Amino acid sequence: MTKEKSKSESKKLDSIKENIEESFAYFEDNIEQYKRLMRFAYKTTITDKERQNLSKINKPDIELNYTSSYLSKVVGEFSRQAPEVSVSGNGSGSQINVLTTDVIEGHMMHVFLEYEKSGKNTVIKQQCGGSYSAFKVIAEYDNKMSFTQKMSIINVEPTMCFFDPMSKKTAKDDSNYWGEIYPIEKEEFKRQYPKYASEADRMGYSKALNNKFSWTYKNGNKDIIMLADYYCLEKKRKQIHRLSDGQVVLNSEYEEMIENWSELYAAPEIVESREEDFNKVIRYIIFGNSIIKKEDTPYESSNYFFVAGDCAQVYESDSGNQVSQSLKSYISNAVGAQKLLNYTAQTLANFSENLMQQKYMLEKRSVVNKKDWLNPQKASVLLYSSESDEGSPLPAPKEVVQQDIPQSIMGTFVGMPQVIQSTLGYSDPRVNANEVSGEALDKSSIDNNVMAMPFKANYMEALSAAGDFMLKIFPKLYVTPMTIPVINEKGERVFVPINQQLSDGSKDPQSIFFDYKDNELGVTIKSSYSFTLQKDRALKTMTQLMGAVPSFGELMNRRGLPIIVDNLDIRGADKLKEMADKQIQEEQSQQNQPNPAQQQLMIKQQELQLKQQKIQMEYKVKQEELQEQKNQMALDEKLAMIGLEKELMNASVQNEKVQAEIKTANIDAAVKVANQALAHEEHLLNRNEQQHNHTIDVMSLNSQ
């Protein structure tokens, strides 16, 4: 290391240490208040000094911590809410696939829900109980043997974090520097950083002083070194262009575009240009004497986020111009009322402890049995003398009346719980429950405390800042083909492949790519009902509909069991869902495969149907045969008539011949011929009559 470089690093180290110490000095009052309020909320409402004073005046150090129960209610109400993520284009003219924004929303929701499982309640307790909290967003490896990183939200100790005092935003994500300090034992420090072991041995260690920042201290017999994880912004001025096609690009990006332009049409031209500061985050790990590590990060802003309680920028004095951030916890306004309640409870307890048993005031000379009068509660009979030895009268013993506790003390004790409740702004949603609708009660179960709204709003602001940070870091973190977890619309976790490639190494057009630019997307995060509460509300709605609409109830009873089970939030709901699906499948299978009785009935029905069809076919054939017979008989009758007419004509001709022969021939011969003709004609008429009678018989038979 050159001498010049050593001076540069020493100067940078001094600057870092100065910033850290300045930040802790600026926030010192809030840190002390945080420690005091967290102890008040979750351990005891009596300070050590108050406990000593109570001991001096022989009062019991009892306490009735009403504020803790209300604080627990607020934390419980917050736990039922969940962030709702919405990602969309920011109007810069770029076209982002809707499926891509859906996957980003789902993955970001997965990160938030994973954090809510383990870290949310801690932050809410610190924010509402101690007046502030903090968390950080980092990219960490899946496991020790992995090279794949994932986004995670991790809680940090709020009193060990520091932010730029000049930051303006509530979440302090606009800080120029930020980070955290954490203690490490000297021997562990030497194991992790052997290069700096000799420096650690040369450092001085003494017992830490209260309210005094120190880079080393002694905890019992152990030497402690404070390490600092320090992040800072480095700004670089760059030129940006707005192009004729609406794009906004860096000058370096535009030059690369022109150099690689291969389209047939002309490249977009620069419409206007300007310069802008671009951030780069550098990370340092330091201890009192040296910079241990320096590295570039892919970040462009703070990855630590401040979760403020009820906060405001206030002036330090009426006449000065110095402004500082003032923080209040949820129970800050009720601290005085809680202490007054403790005082009245201690007074009542002291009165009860010192409550006198039955006592008497009597003349010494009237004592008959001194032992009995020393414990008047034990004696069954108390004897006294009404006259002295000289015969003069003695006053009778008098009972000592116990004074009642002052009514002001009792009134204060009885009224203080209501004062605490009013001070905290809490309203019980069960009051006048019959006068409001069910929907109003559902909402009041979450948002019944207006005083808690600033805490909720500041928590959501911190989550929004974290969401914006993650949206910018995703394209830099997820650059290789991988599968990421996503929360779908049903609240289920599924895995979606991203950045997939074809066999030739080119991008798969069907895949989702996190290759958007910082200025192309925006994220909005707001508070919504948790999936648990949504399921609860859905179950109530279905139950009401089943009671109000019988057809809907019948449908749900027959086919809606999986939907009902899907909205149950009970232990074993997954197994119950599988059982419901299996039952529906079995019922459908049974419906598709009827039982033996149904099968026999179906077979008989089929046999009857076949028999009926056979009868119908036979009847149809008979009808066709009968019609054919009718047609044939009609044809035969017509032919017979034609033959008869022909024969009659022939007979007529013969008759004419006979007449002619009669005229010209022998009369006997003519008569003979005439007789023959008449006989033949009679024969024909008889045959025709027989055929006609046969036809009538057949038609009569068919009609039967």
Inform me whether the pLDDT recorded for 640 exceeds 50.
yes
**pLDDT value of residue 183:** 92
The region, left, alpha or beta by phi > 0 then psi within -120 to 50, assigned to residue 513 is beta
Confidence of residue 372 (pLDDT cuts 50, 70, 90): confident
Inform me whether the pLDDT recorded for 2 exceeds 70.
no
Confidence of residue 282 (pLDDT cuts 50, 70, 90): very high
Query: pTM of this prediction?
Result: 0.69
Hey, is 519 helix, strand or coil?
Answer: coil
CA-closest candidate to residue 238, choices 228, 229, 251, 256: 251
What would the mean pLDDT of 314-328 be, rounded to a whole number?
Answer: 80
Bigger pLDDT: 494 or 648?
A: 494
Range list of H helices, 478-512? none
pLDDT in tens, 257-281: 888 888 888 888 899 999 888 889 9
Cα separation, 345 vs 347, whole angstroms: 5
Decide: 460 and 85 in contact? Cβ < 8 Å: no
Inform me whether the pLDDT recorded for 446 exceeds 50.
no
- What is the maximal distance between C-alpha atoms in the chain? 214
Inform me whether the pLDDT recorded for 331 exceeds 80.
yes
- At which residue do the structure tokens 């003032």 appear? 326
- At which residue do the structure tokens 């895949």 appear? 511
Inform me whether the pLDDT recorded for 214 exceeds 50.
yes
Confidence of residue 535 (pLDDT cuts 50, 70, 90): low
- At which residue do the structure tokens 């089970």 appear? 565
Which H or E run includes 346?
helix 335-353
Decide: 303 and 137 in contact? Cβ < 8 Å: yes
Inform me whether the pLDDT recorded for 493 exceeds 80.
yes
- At which residue do the structure tokens 């149907």 appear? 609
Cα separation, 487 vs 162, whole angstroms: 33
Determine phi and psi for 376, rounding to 5 degrees: -65, -20
Decide: 67 and 334 in contact? Cβ < 8 Å: yes
- Centroid of chain to Cα 200: 48
- Centroid of chain to Cα 514: 24
CA-closest candidate to residue 216, choices 231, 230, 229, 200: 200
In the DSSP assignment, the letter for residue 22 is: H
Cα separation, 327 vs 332, whole angstroms: 9
**pLDDT value of residue 363:** 78
Q: Which two tokens stand for residue 293?
A: 């590590």
- Its sign, for the CA torsion 496, 502, 508, 514, is positive
What would the mean pLDDT of 675-697 be, rounded to a whole number?
Answer: 68
User: Within 10 A of 223 (CB to CB), how many other CB atoms are there?
Assistant: 19
pLDDT-above-90 percentage for the chain: 26
Cα separation, 463 vs 31, whole angstroms: 22
Which H or E run includes 52?
helix 48-56
Confidence of residue 701 (pLDDT cuts 50, 70, 90): low
**pLDDT value of residue 213:** 77
Q: Which two tokens stand for residue 421?
A: 């409740």
Directed axis angle between helix 550-559 and helix 531-548, to 10°?
120
Decide: 483 and 150 in contact? Cβ < 8 Å: no
Residue partners of 549: CB distance under 8 A and separation at least 6: none
Decide: 106 and 378 in contact? Cβ < 8 Å: no
Bigger pLDDT: 18 or 661?
A: 18
Decide: 311 and 326 in contact? Cβ < 8 Å: yes
In the DSSP assignment, the letter for residue 501 is: B
What would the mean pLDDT of 179-190 be, rounded to a whole number?
Answer: 93
pLDDT in tens, 62-73: 898 888 888 888
Residue partners of 156: CB distance under 8 A and separation at least 6: 134, 135, 136, 180, 304
CA-closest candidate to residue 202, choices 219, 184, 220, 190: 190
Decide: 330 and 421 in contact? Cβ < 8 Å: no
What would the mean pLDDT of 650-663 be, rounded to a whole number?
Answer: 72
Length of the chain (residues) = 704
**pLDDT value of residue 373:** 78
Residue partners of 518: CB distance under 8 A and separation at least 6: 300, 472
In the DSSP assignment, the letter for residue 27 is: T
- At which residue do the structure tokens 């869902």 appear? 577
What would the mean pLDDT of 363-381 be, rounded to a whole number?
Answer: 78
pLDDT in tens, 552-611: 777 777 667 677 766 666 666 666 666 766 776 666 666 555 566 666 777 777 777 877
CA angle 50–55–57, rounded 5-degree value: 100
Cα separation, 564 vs 580, whole angstroms: 10
What would the mean pLDDT of 365-369 be, rounded to a whole number?
Answer: 81
**pLDDT value of residue 514:** 86
Confidence of residue 431 (pLDDT cuts 50, 70, 90): very low
- Centroid of chain to Cα 545: 24
Bigger pLDDT: 699 or 39?
A: 39
pLDDT-above-70 percentage for the chain: 81
Inform me whether the pLDDT recorded for 658 exceeds 60.
yes
Confidence of residue 231 (pLDDT cuts 50, 70, 90): very high
**pLDDT value of residue 167:** 92
Burial letters 469-485, b for 16+ CB under 10 A, else e: bbbbbbbeebeeebebb
SS3 letters across 117-181: HHCHHHHHHHHHHHCEEEEEEEEEECCCCCCCEEEEEEECCHHHEEECCCCCCCCCCCCCEEEEE
Residue partners of 414: CB distance under 8 A and separation at least 6: none
What would the mean pLDDT of 468-483 be, rounded to a whole number?
Answer: 90
**pLDDT value of residue 505:** 78
Mean pLDDT of the chain: 81
Q: Which two tokens stand for residue 508?
A: 């798969």
Q: Which two tokens stand for residue 582?
A: 């299996």
List beta partners, residue 239: 275
pLDDT in tens, 609-638: 877 777 878 778 788 888 888 888 877 777
Rg (CA), the chain: 53
What would the mean pLDDT of 499-521 be, rounded to a whole number?
Answer: 83
Exposed/middle/buried for residue 111 (C-beta within 10 Å: 0-12, 13-18, 19+)? buried
Which H or E run includes 488?
none
CA angle 333–334–336, rounded 5-degree value: 100
Q: Which range among 191-195, 528-532, 652-656, 697-701 has the greatest average pLDDT?
A: 191-195
